[in-house]
Amino acid sequence: MKILFLDQSGQLGGAELCLIGLAKHYGNDCLVGLFAPGPFSQQLAAQQIPVEVLAAQPLNFQKQSGTLQAMKSLGQLWPLVQRVSRLSREYDCIYANTQKALVVGAIASRLSGKPLVYHLHDIISSEHFSRFGQQVIVTLANQAALVIANSLASQSAFIAAGGRAEITEVVYNGFDLAKYSAGEMAIAPPHSLKYDRLGAGDGFVVGHFSRLSPWKGQHVLIDALQHCPPQIKIVLVGSALFGEESYVQQLHTQIERLGLGDRVQFLGFRADIPAIMSACDLIAHTSTAAEPFGRVIVEGMLCDRPVVAAAAGGAVEIVRHSQTGWLTPPGDARKLAEIITTVYEQPERAKAIAQRGQQEAQKRFDLKTINPQIDTLLSAVVA
């Protein structure tokens, strides 16, 4: 079975990390077609996954784009559609991994006659998409032979927006457990990390791992920090994407206003996430809107770290409150501060919960069991 994967991004986000694990499973029997160059294509090539950048410039419509912006993109879209249509004739199906990939893949599928599969990594709602964007995604996805949702939350939102329930299947993201082993994480041990200014050796470090974006809620964690004991510090791992640089300045202003400059550090984008997580005492997920899945939550659990997550979307499917981690109302800084303080004051309890979380994550999200699930679904589509 030969698969043509499509992805709009040159950057490494959650959808792209998920695709790496799946594409590696197919090896030379697949091609990953990208709509923009960047670190993602380099990562694929480094892992010997066939990759080709199909567009000279990124498509210029976004999640919140309206009809007019989409119409302006048609001239840029059509040559890409034709190229994908020609390429797809050498493959058994077209696998669209993102929204823009769905737009291109759906039209190319009609032209080439190859079946379309859409991997839904988003919650289709007004919090994330314009009304026009929702209509486009649902209309095109309903033409697919299969829609793979990354959580029950994503599936439910898709169906509520008008998606066809009978073509959807839920398959959670898979993770290469070897990357979270003690030996792998020892490549960059905690003492080599740049925590000097935080004095992590004497303090308690809360790690936040996400792109810097308002809906990812870094401001909520900073707000919570002022209500925590002074020994507690935070590190923010990630950078701003998609024109959200102004939010970074807002975070710095907030830190200065609250007098927390010596308790917060920005590490920027990092590739050694498991190693950094292993050096933290708690992993915090603070999204203010429902998370489609929540990769960093699972990663924290796999690293044997206690996790606290915003109780919405896919997060509630991953964490069992007070059993494998903690859940807190989205945007509630006071409640978040209470949980952080609890983890700080009750280390033995936190350790036991982290161990249960790790064991459960290893059972539920192992790439070795997730990839065969997707393979079975794709085989049925091709057959």
pLDDT digits (tens, 9 = 90+) for 16-32: 999 999 999 999 999 99
Q: Per-residue pLDDT for 198 more than 50?
A: no
Coil/strand/helix, residue 323: coil
Q: Is the pLDDT of residue 5 over 70?
A: yes
Beta bridge partners of 268: 237
Q: Where are the domains of the chain?
A: 3-174+366-382, 177-364
Q: How confident is the model at residue 202 (pLDDT cuts 50, 70, 90)?
A: low
- What is the average pLDDT across 164-170? 98
**Where residue 126 falls among pLDDT bands split at 50, 70, 90?**
confident
Residue 183 one-letter amino acid:
G
Give dist(CA 256, CA 290) in Å, integer. Answer: 29
Q: Residue 355 pLDDT more than 50?
A: yes
Q: Do domains 3-174+366-382 and 177-364 have the same CATH topology?
A: yes
Q: What is the pLDDT of residue 2?
A: 97
Residue 68 has pLDDT above 60, yes or no: no
Q: What percent of the chain has pLDDT over 70?
A: 89
**CATH architecture of the domain formed by 3-174+366-382:** 3-Layer(aba) Sandwich (3.40)
Residue 262 is predicted with a pLDDT of 93
Residues across the chain: 383
Span 364-374, pLDDT tens digits: 999 999 999 99
Residue 348, exposed/middle/buried by CB under 10 A (0-12, 13-18, 19+)?
Answer: exposed
Q: What is the DSSP string of 97-139?
A: -SHHHHHHHHHHHHHH---EEEEE-S--STTTS-HHHHHHHHH
Query: 240-293 pLDDT, tens per residue?
Result: 876 788 999 999 999 999 999 999 999 998 888 999 999 999 999 999 999 999
Beta strands in 133-199, from DSSP E residues, in sequence order: 146-149, 168-170
Residues linked to residue 96 through DSSP beta bridges, in sequence order: 6, 118
Q: Please report the pLDDT score of residue 194 as a whole number.
A: 45
CATH class of 177-364: alpha beta
Q: Supply the pLDDT for residue 185.
A: 57
The pTM for the full model equals 0.90
* Mean pLDDT computed over 174-191: 69
| Cα separation, 272 vs 186, whole angstroms | 10
* 150 neighbors 292 (Cβ within 8 angstroms): yes
Closest to 264 (Cα-Cα) out of 282, 251, 274, 246: 251
For residue range 297-307, list pLDDT tens digits in order: 999 999 999 99
pLDDT in tens, 138-148: 999 999 999 99
User: Average pLDDT over the chain, rounded to whole?
Assistant: 90
Given a cut of 50, is residue 187 above it in pLDDT? no
